[in-house]
Structure 1
Amino acid sequence: MVQAVRETMMLFDKQDITQEKNITTCPFCQGRELIKKGQRQKKYETAQVYYCKNCDKKFTPGATKHKTFPLRIILESISLYNRLNTFEETAKNVSEKYGIPLSFQNISNWLKDFKEYIPFQRMREFIDKKYDKRDMLVESKLFHNQIYDFKYHRAKTDLILNEDFKHYRFRPLRDFLELIVAECPHQIFKESQLRASEYKDIFNLDQVKISPKTNAATRNTNFVLQAVTNNKLRHQILQEFMLVNDSVTVAVEVPVLLDKDDLSHYKNSLNFIVPITLKDDEIITGHIDMLQIRNGMIHILDYKPSARKQKPIEQLTIYALALSRLTALRLYHFKCAWFDEEDYFEFFPLHVVYKKKRKKNKLTARRAGSPG
């Protein structure tokens, strides 16, 4: 557990504590004609003041506008506490790292102030009684050409599956996640040259409805990324925050693969339209950003900066096809989505590969069948 705490606190280490994200839009009018107008000195950081030429207003951005402490300290403290550390343990760890005195009251106040971003709080009391903090989360570094930080929230998954009957059917997903650390075929991921993310424009999307949605993922992203100035850390910090603090994310960086036999099953047994051909020794691999269980569905999520300019249908559909085979759960139970801090788009992967035959109009059919 000490190692897990250490790694959680290292996520922000590649950026200075006083760094803040550059703002590109005005929070009042969404205008983009902004200029920097001096700085406001706070106790532990310096905040940039902006002036909007469009609406003639000054503002200091960020969720910590009226807070003494930098957002990164608040985020680390909240996550450490929700990893089942006590108030005192959390305050001690963060204080020692940053050399800033924190009290348990500071952390208690942040949990109240930012409760909309941490619905895990409702689960924590039940989980704390049943799980040791060393067993609550499964974490492993997967060396698959690059390093993927696979994490699985065992306690949250158990609670979600047991508290709602419609989620009970997803026990095979839990079984799969439990086996990853011990049985993941790492050599395949190292040797495979085919990535799910590399497939583009291969599916017929005629009957696929891509729906923009209002979702907590965008709100969480907007909140968390205010503290991230190193773009290379965006995925990792967002994944950690959502896994530890929301009530639906059960795993991140989940390894999946799809081979020739899987494709044969979809094409020949289910009559799915999957326009991919693989040789006997070829395997498509990938790592799912986030897995969620909610509303009777398994959700496959991918964080994509500038989401509205992207359409990773192929990548997400391949993830769903792979996970469906690995868990023996029907594709019907999966939804896919991509998002950023502003937009969230979702679709049913089943609609991508299975096309309903349109029924002919009775009058048209009768005419077509009549002679002459």
Structure 2
Amino acid sequence: MTIRNTSMKHGWFYHYRLNDHKIDFLCCNGFESLRTYLDQVFTNCPDHYFESGPRGSSLKFKLGIKPIRVEGHEVSQLADVGLKSSRYKTAHSNVQVHMLEQDGTTIGVEVPIWLQDHEIKQYKAIFDSDEPLTGHIDIVRIEDGKIWVWDFKPKADLEKYASTQIYFYALMLSKRTNISLDKFRCGYFDEYSAHIFKPEQDQLDKFLELKQKLVAVVRQ
């Protein structure tokens, strides 16, 4: 097993890790650009993007997404085992590395991603900024021909905005790899439950439409 890792100082330190063996096996049949991106960002990440501007983990609005709650999901079982480890200081690292090493579909953790203002419409209206949106995906898996974007959230049932954060994580990775958003699935989880959904452009479009209507009412 070959695991590559590097530490990225993006406000604080993130440990970006890849399982090269699983990438070689899973990043084929249309996902070659994902493999290329994951490899290139090791040495060619625009670190200055992460110094300021909006962050995916700080988004505090809802897109109207209604995730499906699943008890006993495979990722929850993996988290439960990972949390019993004291290998690392943080729960996140113990869960992430356990999945990267032991789960057959996890290919990367703490994957850096970004989105620029010209890449989606009404960018400034959404984020109130022209600076790039940035983030780090906790866990990337490839399963059943889909790229799964996962975020480990202790007390997942109490999350209010996790679906928004992970939606934009999937959108950012879609833009970076030029892989259709239709090929992505999203979820957040703890050791008890997982909350999953399919990211769709329509979800963002409806949010923008509602936002425009609210602005119009305020201006009347």
- Range into which the TM-score falls when normalised by the shorter chain: 0.7 to 0.9
Whether the 8 Å contact between 1:338 and 1:345 is mirrored in structure 2 is yes
The whole-number CA distance in structure 1 between the counterparts of 2:101 and 2:85 is: 17
RMSD: 2.2
The whole-number CA distance in structure 2 between the counterparts of 1:198 and 1:297 is: 26
- 1:287 maps onto 2:146 in alignment: no
The 1:199–1:279 alpha-carbon spacing in structure 2 relative to 1, beyond 3 Å, is closer
Aligned-pair CA distance for 1:209: 3.8
Alignment-derived partner of residue 352 in structure 1: 203
242, 245, 250: which one aligns with 2:107: 250
The whole-number CA distance in structure 1 between the counterparts of 2:67 and 2:124 is: 19
Alignment-derived partner of residue 196 in structure 1: 56
The whole-number CA distance in structure 2 between the counterparts of 1:308 and 1:334 is: 22
294, 299, 308: which one aligns with 2:148: 299
- 1:310 maps onto 2:168 in alignment: no
Higher relative contact order (CA 8 A, sep 6+): 2
Whether the 8 Å contact between 2:149 and 2:186 is mirrored in structure 1 is yes
The whole-number CA distance in structure 2 between the counterparts of 1:284 and 1:174 is: 22
- 1:182 maps onto 2:64 in alignment: no
- 1:138-157 correspondence to structure 2 within 5 Å: 138-157=4-23
Segment drifting more, 288-297 vs 209-218: 209-218
Report the number of matched residues: 203
Alignment-derived partner of residue 192 in structure 2: 342
The whole-number CA distance in structure 2 between the counterparts of 1:342 and 1:228 is: 19
- 1:221 maps onto 2:71 in alignment: no
The 1:323–1:229 alpha-carbon spacing in structure 2 relative to 1, beyond 3 Å, is closer
Amino acid at match of 1:150: Y
Alignment-derived partner of residue 216 in structure 2: none
Aligned-pair CA distance for 1:306: 0.6
The whole-number CA distance in structure 1 between the counterparts of 2:180 and 2:80 is: 33
Aligned-pair CA distance for 1:193: 3.1
TM-score (ref. length: structure 2): 0.84
Aligned-pair CA distance for 1:279: 4.4
The whole-number CA distance in structure 2 between the counterparts of 1:257 and 1:143 is: 15
Structure 1 gap ranges (5+): 1-82, 84-135, 163-167, 268-272, 356-372
Runs of 4+ in 1 over 6 A off after TM superposition: none
Aligned-pair CA distance for 1:229: 10
Alignment-derived partner of residue 332 in structure 1: 182
Deviation digits for residues 90-131 of structure 1, max 9, x if unmatched? xxxxxxxxxxxxxxxxxxxxxxxxxxxxxxxxxxxxxxxxxx
Alignment-derived partner of residue 44 in structure 1: none
Aligned-pair CA distance for 1:227: 3.3
The whole-number CA distance in structure 1 between the counterparts of 2:120 and 2:114 is: 11
Residue 349 of structure 1 aligns to a residue in which SS?
Answer: coil
The whole-number CA distance in structure 2 between the counterparts of 1:329 and 1:150 is: 21
Whether the 8 Å contact between 2:170 and 2:186 is mirrored in structure 1 is yes
Deviation digits for residues 250-306 of structure 1, max 9, x if unmatched? 000001111211123xx6xxxxx99615544x1111111000000111000000001
The whole-number CA distance in structure 2 between the counterparts of 1:274 and 1:211 is: 30
TM-score (ref. length: structure 1): 0.51
Whether the 8 Å contact between 2:7 and 2:16 is mirrored in structure 1 is yes
Q: Quick check: which one's strand share is greater?
A: 2
Whether the 8 Å contact between 2:85 and 2:94 is mirrored in structure 1 is no
Residue 193 of structure 1 aligns to a residue in which SS?
Answer: coil
Amino acid at match of 2:156: A
The 1:274–1:159 alpha-carbon spacing in structure 2 relative to 1, beyond 3 Å, is farther
Structure 2 gap ranges (5+): 207-220
Q: Percent identity?
A: 30
Bigger radius of gyration, 1 or 2?
Answer: 1
Whether the 8 Å contact between 2:110 and 2:137 is mirrored in structure 1 is yes
84, 89, 92: which one aligns with 1:235: 92
